[in-house]
Amino acid sequence: MHYAVGIMFIALISLVTMPYFALLVVVLLAGVTVLGSQTGLNGACARMRTSGYGFATGVGRLGGIAAGPLGGFLLAKGLPPTYVFLSACVFAAVAAIATAFLALPGRQPIRMAAMEVAS
């Protein structure tokens, strides 16, 4: 859910002209929601297999590394900054959808027998 809220804040940055202080608040909230989602994802994926978790966080890290050069490339090609910010919404939407798949019924971790006996 935080990724989806982050998309709204990123879109607000690009589409709405705001006073400086309001822009600072929206940028802060965009950072808190998107970066907080990434940190929360570590806890949500605690019961995943290590290889799947490592792959998922690795893809996220690669996206963080590629974001700066990609944004510069898009600006160099003449794309307006509004569209560059909106392209970030696309990647946040992919993260939101992928995270939502973790909540599907078939994706819940299998309870270990010891945990079932204890409860």
pLDDT value of position 76:
94
Predicted confidence (pLDDT) per residue in 5-62, tens digit: 989 999 999 899 999 999 999 999 998 988 887 777 777 676 666 666 777 777 777 7
Classify 109 in phi/psi space as left (phi over 0), alpha (psi -120 to 50) or beta.
beta
Q: Give CA separation, 24 vs 5, 9, 38, 99, 110, in Å.
A: 17, 11, 21, 27, 43
Does 4 have pLDDT greater than 80? yes
Q: Residue 83 half-sphere exposure, CB side, CA atoms within 13 Å?
A: 10
Whole-model pTM?
A: 0.70
- Which run of H or of E encompasses 40? helix 20-44
Every domain of the chain and the residues it spans: 2-118
